[in-house]
Amino acid sequence: MQFNGFQKIKRVGQILKILSKHGFDEIISRSNLDRILPDSFLFWNNHAKRIFEDDFNARIRLAIEELGPTFIKLGQLLSNRPDIIPKDMQEELIKLQDDVLTSDIDIRAVLQEELEINADDDFISIDPIPIASASIAQVYRATLKTGQEVVLKVKREGIDEIIHADLDFIKDLVQLLQRKYEVVYKMNLYQIVLSFESSLLNELSFTNELNNIERFRRNFAGNKDVYVPKVHRKYSTDRLLCLEFIDGIKVNDLEGFQTYGLYTKSVLQNVLDLYLEQVLMHGFFHADPHPGNVLVNRRGQIVFLDFGAMGFMIPEDRRIIEAMVLDFLANDAKGLIKDIKKLAVVHHIEDERRLERDAYEIFEMIKQNALDDIDISVMLKKLNIVLQSNHILLPDFVYILLRGVSILEGTGRQLDAELNVPESIEPFAKKIAQEKLSAEYLIAQLKEKAKFAKDVLTEVPEDLLELLDKVKNDKVTLNHKMQDFDNLQLILHRMGNKFLLSILAMTFGVGASILANGRVGYLIWGIPVLSWFGFVASFVICFALLSHLYKSK
């Protein structure tokens, strides 16, 4: 979907207006003007009263909500990172997960428009007040004529246009920053933005989300530790999604665990195992597992919600990620670097020994400390510096995966501060290692290698014969490209000029000496005039050459 310049400018104006408004409010609130303003003024002016009384973090949340869904996604990510933002700000931003300002949506009119049905013919009741309000959609509770309790997820009006305009603004801003600041360019920030854009646009399509739910259900068929909500395709479109209502608590609801009789550590371990299974076994994983999207029902089953944004890996990428996890648990820095090279889109590792030492530092930092003792901000900063200094650009799914892992890390801090990450993932990693040693896996690998060898033996001779035929018929052309050839040409040209001047200086000097010995023509101080001319010319040229050499050092 493309938008014209006027629409982009209009959205940029709205963003700047919102930022200016909230920034101006902050300046006023910290100016202590309330001490000199009359109480009567603050009593009658509600806007001024709000500026001085409302909490600073609350105004940040309000500004993010007002900026719209793209920025709300950023706030949701920060709400799970206590290592980046203060605790009081984190508690405020957590409200962005399911406490976003509601908008007026006539749910019955949407059903009529999207499904061409009368709501009363198919539904016993529809609650007009949303039970949840997210950045892209609002959720309403309803009951079908069959008695089944469902939720109706409805996309906000005009949300597609707003998100596209926001993404265009962010991309333009990043491109501008990359041109002006080398550090931004080295961060490969634009590629990350493109990945974020792809993920966010997938969330906009409810048809895509419906297909994701069905695929997720197939992946976990028979697994009693996870429950996937049923989808009612009859009442679903690209703007409307009808799902089974789930009665459960958030994954970080400690009081709720006590009510359900569940153990916090077992729930957390279950969530980690299920996420590892998504990544390492299915190659299809939830991209936004914040507490608002991960519930626990009364049977202790984990229920994932909101399948709009999902990460996807091809089989080869999944095998590399598996190998990296095993390298991490074995503290194998060399193996980890080797796998990073295989996975990276672009890399330029100048000092592998230095990279090894950095990897070992991170290994020890995580291995010897509980989650609450690890300074995640320092570790992530170090990792980011390593990636930048070696110009390592990873595939899009890696950035989605890192986002999901960072969200789960935030949840883990809330549930169990003493959680040791390597110890928690080691049982699952051993399971993977055992599968790699199983007869079925080895047979599958042998079949794959045999197919590859067959392809090589079949294709290489044909390619070689084709090359030999071209050589025989003089059809092979060698193309050679020299980097910075224009600069090299200029250097050679200048060297040639200096060499020519040196020969001229020598010629004038030798010729003048010969003429001086012959004493031919008019003499000055016993030396012919032509000799004087040759000596002067040789001296001038030599002086010019020496002067140029001195300046160029």
Give residue limits of the domains in the chain.
Answer: 5-97, 485-552
Q: Pick from 432, 198, 408: which is nearest to 312 by CA?
A: 198
Are 69 and 197 in contact by the 8 Å Cβ rule? The answer is no
Distance CA 324, CA 4 (A): 45
Distance CA 6, CA 15 (A): 14
Q: Pick from 196, 190, 195: which is nearest to 76 by CA?
A: 196
Distance CA 203, CA 266 (A): 31
Query: Is the C-alpha dihedral spanning 516, 517, 518, 523 positive or negative?
Result: positive
Q: What DSSP element (H or E) covers 296?
A: strand 294-296
Distance CA 331, CA 325 (A): 10
Distance CA 219, CA 212 (A): 11
Cα–Cα distance list, 188 to 123, 168, 463, 514 (Å): 50, 17, 38, 69
Over its length of 553 residues, how does the chain's per-residue pLDDT go in tens digits?
445 556 666 666 677 666 666 554 444 444 454 454 455 544 545 555 555 556 778 878 887 778 777 877 767 766 655 545 677 887 888 777 555 678 889 999 999 999 999 999 999 999 999 988 877 889 999 999 999 999 999 998 888 888 888 888 778 877 887 887 776 666 666 776 777 788 788 888 899 999 999 999 999 998 999 999 999 999 999 999 999 999 999 998 988 998 888 888 888 889 988 998 998 889 999 988 888 889 999 999 999 998 988 888 888 888 888 888 778 777 888 888 888 888 888 777 777 788 788 788 777 776 666 555 655 555 656 666 777 677 777 787 887 787 787 778 778 878 876 766 667 777 776 776 666 665 665 566 666 656 656 565 666 566 666 767 766 666 666 665 555 556 666 676 677 777 777 777 777 666 767 666 666 666 676 677 677 777 777 777 787 777 777 666 5
Are 127 and 113 in contact by the 8 Å Cβ rule? The answer is no
Around Cβ 82, how many Cβ atoms within 10 Å?
Answer: 18
Cα–Cα distance list, 333 to 354, 393, 452, 520 (Å): 11, 19, 29, 84
DSSP label at 308? S
Distance CA 112, CA 154 (A): 13
